[in-house]
Amino acid sequence: MSRASRAAAFGGILAVLAALVIIWAARLTIPRDLYVSELGAQGMPTAKWFQAALVLIVVGGTAIGWAGRGIRSRPRILNLWRPSATLFVSCGFFLVASQVTCTAGCPVPYGPRFTWPDFIHTTAAVIAFGAAVLTILQCAFAVGHRALRVFSLIAAISVAVIAGAGGLMSLLDFYPTFGSRLEFVATTIGLAWIAVFGVVLARPPATVPLGEAALPPQRSEELVG
């Protein structure tokens, strides 16, 4: 990997970690349970900070995706396009969600409480999160990078189950306060995965010791024997 790619990965790591810190710092200022998107709702004191966090996710995810553009998934169905392309799609919809915020309380956009900002924000956020999970799943079967595969498989299952449960609790109005906590956990795991993906890409390539590199293949086999 080129120095430019490793630099992009490193910059992406910093942006994503900064976004994670901002989201949790904003969450800790609110003395009640709420869903992640509500941090950016109209009239919330954390709205600008949350918007900045989403933009940082977009910048960081795009940089890391560009650095990881060479990674491919092994299964044919997951190899129709690169994981980086899926991550770009996720970042694009996160950008939409950052610019179109939900109304106060972030109500579910159907029925008498329907508003276009809520519909656009919720739709963009769901697609962005879904694309992020697909990116993680693609990397769970990536060619090479064994450590990344293991971590990605665990993260993909965790995020899908936890975020899915939290989303259903919100839609069904079933213990929504607990569902909001699940959503924050899923968000944290997802952002942590992007940062770990960047760390894998930012690492310098493995080097072969000079003594071994200087030996021709036949001579190396003789020494091993």
Task: Give the residue extent of every domain in the chain.
Answer: 3-224
Both structure tokens of 122: 């919720």
65-69, long-range: CB < 8 A, 24+ apart: 65/91, 66/5, 66/8, 67/1, 67/5, 67/6, 67/8, 67/9, 67/12, 67/198, 67/201, 67/202, 68/9, 68/197, 68/201
Percent with pLDDT over 70 in the chain: 87
Q: Give me the pLDDT at residue 205, please.
A: 58
Lowest model confidence (mean pLDDT) among 22-36, 42-56, 133-147, 167-181: 167-181
- Least reliable range by pLDDT among 52-66, 163-177, 202-216: 202-216
| 119-128 per-position pLDDT tens digit | 999 899 989 9
The larger pLDDT score, comparing residue 146 to residue 188, is at 188
Which stretch of 1-5, 7-11, 190-194, 202-206 has the lowest confidence by average pLDDT? 202-206
